[in-house]
Structure 1
Amino acid sequence: MFGNLSEMGKMFEALQSQAKAMDEELSERRYTIKSGGGMVKLTLNGKGEALDLEIDDSLLEDKSSLQIILLSTISDAYKMVEDNKKQHALGMLGGMNPFTK
């Protein structure tokens, strides 16, 4: 019914190994997103973990602008990381795209 279970086990182990390697690679990647004309700069790794945040001193006196720019920066960063994860997953799947409907 399930074919050769030994072969399926080997395939599963290979996928786990690839996923682990991808996770390690993503943790090493660095992405820097700038917003507000470079007044806010956020650096993340490929797993989406924030590594550094720089805020221009002039924004510290304008809370409203700072909030808007921070939200924009975080949203852009999240999208960049998610797109990159999808591309890596597609590479692992040999180009099959499970993300499209």
Structure 2
Amino acid sequence: MKPDLKALFKQIEKVQEELERIQAELENKTVTEEAGGGMVKVTINGKKEVVKIEIDKEVVNPDDIEMLEDLLVAAVNKALQSADKMISEEIAKATSGLITGIPGFPFNFPGFKA
């Protein structure tokens, strides 16, 4: 039995439109993570751009810059992981039902986990 290519292309087009909509929405969604018990907070949007960094004054010590650097790295990495999770969840939620029947799906979408 031959696959219905017209229906398949229509379904692929719907998925593409939905993914474009999700991408636009993710620009406005953010995640915030912290390190050092909240001394450093990093906010990242759905495009994986750092949009805000908050540093508690108590952690700013000119004699211990390494600690501040470590806290920043930890907070950014946690926020990136949370952003990946948010992106995957949004894609899965929005495309559920649209992607069934498309051979080889999921394609190599960044952050998508089937």
TM interval, short-chain normalised: 0.7 to 0.9
The residue that corresponds to 1:89 in the other structure is 91
Deviation of the 1:23 alpha carbon: 0.5
Q: How many equivalent residue pairs?
A: 99
Higher share in helix: 1
TM-score by length of 1: 0.81
Tell me if 1:32 matches 2:35. no
- Structure 2: stretches of 5+ with no match in the other structure: 101-105, 107-112
User: Matched residues in 2 for 1:87 and 1:2: separation?
Assistant: 33
Q: Could you list the runs of 4 or more consecutive aligned residues of structure 1 that deviate by over 6 angstroms after TM superposition?
A: none
**Cα–Cα, structure 1 residues 20 and 2, in superposed 2: closer, same or farther, change >3 Å?**
farther
In structure 1, the residue matched to 2:54 is 54
Q: CA RMSD in A?
A: 2.3
Q: Using the alignment, how far apart are the partners of 1:93 and 1:85 within structure 2?
A: 14
Query: Residue type of the partner of 2:78?
Result: D
The residue aligned with 1:16 is 16
Q: Which runs of structure 2 are paired with 1:61-72 in the superposition (5 Å)?
A: 61=61, 62-72=64-74
Structure 1 residue 90 displacement after superposition: 1.9
Identity of aligned residues (%): 28
Which residue matches 1:79? 81
1:26-58 CA-to-partner distances (Å, cap 9, x unmatched) read: 111122212212211111112211111111233
Task: Return the offset for 1:88.
Answer: 1.7
Q: Which fold has the larger relative contact order, with Cα–Cα distance below 8 Å and residues 6 or more apart in sequence?
A: 2
Cα offset, 1:2, TM superposition? 5.2
